[in-house]
Amino acid sequence: MRLLPRFTKRHAIAAAAVGALTLGALAALPATNAMAAAGCSVTYTTNQWTGGFTANISIKNLGDPISSWTLGFTFPASGQQVGQGWSATYSQSGSAVTARSMDYNGALGTGASTGIGFNGTWTTSNPAPTSFTLNGTVCTGTTTPTSPSASATASPRPSSSPSPSTPPTGQTPVAANGQLHVCGVNLCNQNNKAIQLRGMSTHGLQWFANCYNDASLDALANDWKADLLRIAMYVQEQGYETNPTAFTNQVNTLVDKAQARGMYALIDFHTLTPGDPTYNLARAKTFFAAVSARNASKNNVIYEITNEPNGVSWQTIKNYAEQVIPVIRANDPDAVIIVGTRGWSSLGISDGSNSTEVINNPVNASNIMYTFHFYAASHLDNYRAEVERAAARIPLFVTEFGTVTYTGGGNVDISSSTTWLDLLDRLKISYANWTYSDASESSAAFRPGTCAGGTYAGTGVLQESGNFMRTRIRTADNF
């Protein structure tokens, strides 16, 4: 059966989505007349290369709650300059730097923290600032400026360890596995052990941003015990093309939130209509250059460079991949990159083809995997048989699947979903379920209206698909 564009329904719900966002709500806002914080502490850490550096800043409010903030500091050396930044709006006058909060991270309660950062340049030296102000008040709490390494390298590639400002602790998925890589047909951890990641995909950030807050991501990490958050950033459909800076910042913030909880973050360049990925080639290069430079020091990031190519040949997809992958590799040579496949990422099955075209003509790059998507009520034994055949030859990652029909709706097919997940478990194929949202469709994990409240943990807020997926994901990992 042809895999038709199930997203017709998914897009139609945008108008009725709870808390649907306007473009203005996504854009950076100037600081308001927020109460000055009575105290604060700052951690400033950097990685540098010849002439450039990445700075990550953790801000903790030790005073009264504030609704927005302005962080100020002064570069100690001449020639230090802020370049591209994230999670704040930056300005610089001489050596004085000001960073203003975005709409989504301005509110800081007492004891609350947020992370921001930027890529910068330097000329003769690159010492760290030692004094910071928050809303005009000097931070009297502990500040931890960390000077960059004295050794400079020719590559703008920082260390592959997580940012020191938000290290995963305990036996989180990232703490247990570290930097992932592809070995043979498997996804492997830092100990070269084949592993499987299990998690959830967001819905479109332009429609369901209110579903991805600290409480919901705490529930995903701690109650669901998920390994993975897939961040579905639509390019069209009121997505990235309307405000590239705002959507890039939104993605980076979710990467940080996943990192802080020890989960892997799968950055999904969610192309669908038009189905030819080369239509968005320039946008893809711009986006992935930005997010790979910004997140190169993290070991929890995986890149999905095109969601569901359709109406094009495998050769077209391959050509696109071989132009986008070098952009990521220039900044982040170690990260796993996932390439979409023909026929809505069905390995060509939904176009009447199969995985042979990929096996015989693979992408000319290393450390990559190939995408497979399915919807359990629509895609049955013939799809499963092709996955089993392909998995013996090429590394697969199920970056999206549903327990329902390809429309995103209909009855939850527990039997087929169970058969699918048993197969993926046996083959150690990682997966993300569609969707961790409260969309008005049966594929959504949460009951409609959940994201307008504050409760996400437990089964009381879940639909049938969410209950099923929570139970499957909560079973012990084999790391």
**Active centre residues (catalytic):** 308, 400
Distance CA 181, CA 127 (A): 34
Tokens standing for residue 154: 């020719």
Per the CB < 8 A criterion, the answer to whether 379 and 3 are in contact is yes
The DSSP-derived string for 190-253 is TTS-EE--EEEE---HHHHGGG-SHHHHHIIIIIS--SEEEEEEESSSSSGGG-HHHHHHHHHH
Report the interhelical angle of 281-295 vs 314-331 (nearest 10°). Answer: 30
Provide the 3-class DSSP secondary structure of residue 28: coil
Return the axis-axis angle of helices 244-260 and 281-295, rounded to nearest 10°: 40
Cα separation, 311 vs 279, in Å, equals: 12
Contact by Cβ (8 Å): 281, 314: no
Nearest to 250, CA basis, from 213, 302, 301? 213
β-pair partners for 288: none
Q: Which of 269, 264, 284 is nearest to 233 (CA)?
A: 269
* DSSP notation for 57-86: EEEEE-SS-BSS-EEEEE-SSTT-EEEEEE
Q: What would the DSSP string read from start to end of 347-403?
A: TTGGGT--THHHHHS--S-SSEEEEEEEETTT--HHHHHHHHHHHTTS-EEEEEEES
Transcribe 96-107 into DSSP letters: EEEEE--TTT--
For residues 240 and 235, what is the distance between their CA atoms, to the nearest angstrom? 4
CB 420 within 8 A of CB 401: yes
Q: 71 φ, ψ to 5°?
A: -100, 130
Q: Which candidate, 331, 336, 340, places its Cα nearest to that of 286?
A: 331
Query: What are the φ and ψ backbone dihedral angles of 471, each rounded to 5 degrees?
Result: -65, -40
Q: Which helix (H) or strand (E) segment is 259 a member of?
A: helix 244-260
